[in-house]
Chain A
Amino acid sequence: MNTRIQAATRQIDGPLLKVTDLRTHFRTERGLVRSVDGVSFSLDRGKALGIVGESGSGKTVLSRSIMGLLPSRNTERSGSVIFEGAEIIDRSLKERRKIWGREMSMIFQDPMTSLNPVMRVGKQISEGLSIHLGMDKQNARETALKLLYDVRIPEPEKRLDQYAFELSGGMRQRVMIAIALACGPTILFADEPTTALDVTVQAQILELIGDQRRDRNMSVILVTHDLGVVAGHTDEIAVMYGGKLVEKAPTRTLFANMKMPYTEALLRSIPNIEDPSHTRLNVITGRPPDLVNPPQGCRFSPRCEYVQPKCVTEEPPLLTAEHLDHVYACWYPVGSPVYREKRAQLDRQGSGATVGAV
């Protein structure tokens, strides 16, 4: 099944990051948790990839696993991560450390906890500069100030000597971005960078990440559970479900021509502002799959409206759609005859939405 996706990506010249059949399993007392179970994709320089999925779909583990940030204890990691043409999955901690910060860096979900509460902001930014780039104190401080300008923090000179608790949530996230950008990484992992922020600030932070990506010709992997976040700020979207990649396509293609019923269900569960009030929200019934004992066949089958006998017994491979860069894992994708028949049947039952959803 991976040969197909490889065939699809080989046409693009030298991807910056190529992940093949990446698996990350955690040994727990309950059993092996397959958080990332055979994920493959590639990413070009300067492009933004959105990774979308529910809580527990493995999206955060995927991004940390690519970076090699996960603790090694009780973790099984296999597959291949090729970064700038070199395999990095088997690198030692010492070698990985050289990549971190300089080549890959990460922004975290909660800017309230991701800054050191007892270290001045300027020091936190300049630390990486002096360690990785060997800048002297004065130089590092000036660069830190420039970075704070870049992330559009008001009164950057003043911020250098402030502590995290003196800044607002939005400002803290800007500081985090400044820290992550300090050593000029080629890939920025943004792990739900806006989840902890106010809606009005969310858009600004996403704009900022987008601008910096264009200015620096840097790739961005934007991990989120919010399709609205990725819609306007990514070139491609990968949808994850139960540790697997279930659909990946250029952003526009995905929204216009989604194949996977899960993607469709995700989109339909976003409330529409034009709906009359008291419209029942479309939800996806059930719960995310147990990653210790994932369901047989398609992992989404227990919750899928269009489930067929084959879905429960056989796991669908990643198939290529009309466009070569659009892949999906479904036996009866959106638009197929079986899907249409089932859809019509559901519509006839009246609700038009998920039946029995509460």
Chain B
Amino acid sequence: MSDIEIVEDDVSLIVPIIDEAGSPKVRVRRRGRVTKWLAIGWLTFIVVSAIGANSLPYINHSCDQFESKLDCSTALNGSLKKIELPPTWAFFADPPKEPVGGGATHVGIMGTDRNGYDIFARAMLGARPSLTIAGLAITFGLAIATILGMIAGYFRGWVDVLIENITNVLLAFPALLLVIFCVTFFTDNTQSAASARPLWPIILALVIVSIPPLTRLVRANTISYAQRDFVVAARSLGAKGSRIMFKEILPNIVPALVSFALTGLALLIVAEGALAFLGLSVEAPTPTWGKMISAGTERLRNDVWWISLMPALTMFLTVLSINLLGDVLSQRFNTREAIA
């Protein structure tokens, strides 16, 4: 059995290989395979680090990274000595203040912030609220949008008009105002600001914002499937509307839903960052990417670029990876559709 290797330029042309006994094994090389694995790798890394931020060996919470314990102040001891140090690889950057006693001038892979906290550790810790908020928001948003979109797309008529008008109103309403309203309205301001602000108002806000576009996408997909012969065939066999929607149409639009979900997740991570930047996300001391970026901006003019840039880079890579993965998935599903 010889191995035939086909190099395809256009991913959409690639045919899935049905491996039947006796047929030669055909290996198809897809373009973008490396980037796909890089994306998956980065996302795995982020998720694992976020979960184990308090215990993983490569995330520093103590002063072990410093040669002199005096130079360090961490979340653990809340020392008064606050010092910003650039990352170890940034040989070109100088700390704004020399560490007292001649300790290390470059620290960690992302440096330290004004409190002397390790930025990498905080970025991994900050992935928790960022990913939780975005993930929950897209899950609920997609669930609601799927139901609404499928009802609108399958039944059409007045339900469709009603749902379309609701989504239009929501789309026309400025998203940012809606979010600010939600967060301020549902947050109990009588409690002290420092106490943990609940996550759900901001999730709710993002769910509301994500429903209209997702509903439209689901509706469009549903309509294209609702007119296919196999749906008419199922009807001609006496299947009920609910059965057709969930058993016949839904499995067919799941691939599309997955790519919407990934794109939406990426957008919501950015949105959460923006809200945090405006001070509307979770309250201190919990770090989020948006808050970390926001906190570093005032130091930018002192040539302390790493405080903002490092969490921004983390967010950028995460969002990019999610988008890449979404592209890979949607291409793969399109390919299958072209064949089936």
Q: Which residues of A contact B252 (CB under 8 A)?
A: 116-118
Q: Which residues of A contact B230 (CB under 8 A)?
A: 113-117
* A179 contacts B240, C-beta separation under 8 Å: no
* B237 contacts A163, C-beta separation under 8 Å: no
* B340 contacts A165, C-beta separation under 8 Å: yes
How many chain B residues touch A (Cβ–Cβ < 8 Å)? 24
* A102 contacts B233, C-beta separation under 8 Å: no
Q: Which residues of A contact B235 (CB under 8 A)?
A: 69, 100
* A176 contacts B238, C-beta separation under 8 Å: no
CB distance from B223 to the nearest CB of A (A): 13
Closest B residue to A118 using CB positions: B251
Question: Which of A80-88, A104-112, A137-145, A256-264 is near enough to bind chain B?
Answer: A104-112
Is B236 positioned at the interface, with any CB of A under 8 Å from its CB?
yes
Inter-chain CA distance A254–B83, complex, in Å, is 100
How many chain A residues touch B (Cβ–Cβ < 8 Å)? 35
Highest count of chain A CB atoms <10 Å: which of B228, B236, B247, B339: B236
Q: Which residues of A contact B339 (CB under 8 A)?
A: 165
Is A132 positioned at the interface, with any CB of B under 8 Å from its CB?
yes
Inter-chain CA distance A105–B234, complex, in Å, is 10
CB distance from B53 to the nearest CB of A (A): 39
Q: Which residues of B contact A100 (CB under 8 A)?
A: 235-238
CB distance from A276 to the nearest CB of B (A): 42
* A113 contacts B229, C-beta separation under 8 Å: yes
Residues of A115-154 whose CB lies within 8 A of B: 115-119, 127-128, 131-132
Is A164 positioned at the interface, with any CB of B under 8 Å from its CB?
yes
Inter-chain CA distance A165–B230, complex, in Å, is 13
Inter-chain CA distance A183–B156, complex, in Å, is 30
Inter-chain CA distance A108–B233, complex, in Å, is 7
Inter-chain CA distance A104–B240, complex, in Å, is 16
> Which of A67, A73, A116, A179 touches B156 (beta carbons < 8 Å)?
A73
> Which of A113, A128, A163, A183 touches B228 (beta carbons < 8 Å)?
A113
Closest B residue to A164 using CB positions: B340
Q: Which residues of B contact A128 (CB under 8 A)?
A: 237-238
Q: Which residues of B contact A347 (CB under 8 A)?
A: none
> Which of B157, B236, B248, B337 touches A116 (beta carbons < 8 Å)?
B248
> Which of A73, A97, A114 touches B233 (beta carbons < 8 Å)?
A114
Q: Which residues of B contact A118 (CB under 8 A)?
A: 251-252, 254
Inter-chain CA distance A209–B228, complex, in Å, is 24
Is B182 positioned at the interface, with any CB of A under 8 Å from its CB?
no
CB distance from A177 to the nearest CB of B (A): 12
Is B232 positioned at the interface, with any CB of A under 8 Å from its CB?
yes
Inter-chain CA distance A132–B239, complex, in Å, is 9
Q: Which residues of B contact A127 (CB under 8 A)?
A: 237, 239, 247
CB distance from A295 to the nearest CB of B (A): 31
> Which of B232, B233, B251, B340 touches A179 (beta carbons < 8 Å)?
B233
- Chain B binding site: helix, strand, loop or mixed by DSSP? helix
CB distance from A91 to the nearest CB of B (A): 13
CB distance from A103 to the nearest CB of B (A): 9
Closest A residue to B251 using CB positions: A118
Is A53 positioned at the interface, with any CB of B under 8 Å from its CB?
no
Residues of B32-60 whose CB lies within 8 A of A: none
Is B18 positioned at the interface, with any CB of A under 8 Å from its CB?
yes
* B232 contacts A69, C-beta separation under 8 Å: yes
CB distance from B258 to the nearest CB of A (A): 13
CB distance from A210 to the nearest CB of B (A): 21
Highest count of chain B CB atoms <10 Å: which of A109, A110, A117: A117
CB distance from B253 to the nearest CB of A (A): 10
CB distance from B337 to the nearest CB of A (A): 8
Inter-chain CA distance A174–B213, complex, in Å, is 41
Q: Known contacts A73-B157, A117-B340; decide if A102 and B238 are in contact (CB<8 Å).
A: yes
CB distance from A186 to the nearest CB of B (A): 14
Q: Which residues of B contact A117 (CB under 8 A)?
A: 230, 252, 337, 340
Inter-chain CA distance A183–B240, complex, in Å, is 16
* A116 contacts B232, C-beta separation under 8 Å: no
* B229 contacts A108, C-beta separation under 8 Å: yes
Q: Known contacts A114-B230, A119-B251; decide if A105 and B236 are in contact (CB<8 Å).
A: yes
CB distance from A173 to the nearest CB of B (A): 12
Inter-chain CA distance A63–B268, complex, in Å, is 50
Q: Which residues of B contact A116 (CB under 8 A)?
A: 230, 234, 248, 251-252
Is A50 positioned at the interface, with any CB of B under 8 Å from its CB?
no
> Which of B157, B229, B239 touches A131 (beta carbons < 8 Å)?
B239
CB distance from B247 to the nearest CB of A (A): 8
Is A98 positioned at the interface, with any CB of B under 8 Å from its CB?
yes
Q: Which residues of B contact A242 (CB under 8 A)?
A: none
* B229 contacts A110, C-beta separation under 8 Å: yes
Closest A residue to B254 using CB positions: A118
CB distance from B335 to the nearest CB of A (A): 12
Highest count of chain B CB atoms <10 Å: which of A98, A100, A102, A182: A100
- Over the window 175-192 of chain A, the binary record of Cβ atoms lying under 8 Å from chain B Cβ atoms (1 yes, 0 no) is 010011011000000000
Residues of A223-259 whose CB lies within 8 A of B: none
Closest B residue to A128 using CB positions: B237
Residues of B206-257 whose CB lies within 8 A of A: 228-230, 232-240, 243, 247-248, 251-252, 254
Q: Known contacts A117-B340, A119-B251, A164-B340; decide if A101 and B233 are in contact (CB<8 Å).
A: no
Closest B residue to A96 using CB positions: B238
Is A90 positioned at the interface, with any CB of B under 8 Å from its CB?
no
Q: Which residues of A contact B337 (CB under 8 A)?
A: 117
* A163 contacts B238, C-beta separation under 8 Å: no
* A132 contacts B238, C-beta separation under 8 Å: yes
Inter-chain CA distance A116–B238, complex, in Å, is 15
Inter-chain CA distance A67–B232, complex, in Å, is 12
CB distance from A184 to the nearest CB of B (A): 12
Inter-chain CA distance A182–B339, complex, in Å, is 28
Inter-chain CA distance A179–B236, complex, in Å, is 11
Q: A113-B230, A166-B18 are in contact. List 17 more A-B contacts (CB 8 A).
A: A69-B232, A69-B236, A97-B238, A97-B240, A101-B237, A105-B236, A108-B233, A113-B228, A114-B232, A116-B251, A118-B251, A119-B247, A119-B251, A132-B238, A165-B339, A165-B340, A183-B237
Show 21 A/B contacts (Cβ-Cβ < 8 Å), sorted by A.
Answer: A97-B238, A99-B238, A101-B236, A105-B237, A106-B236, A114-B230, A115-B230, A115-B233, A116-B230, A118-B251, A118-B252, A127-B237, A127-B247, A131-B239, A132-B237, A164-B340, A165-B340, A166-B18, A176-B233, A179-B237, A180-B237
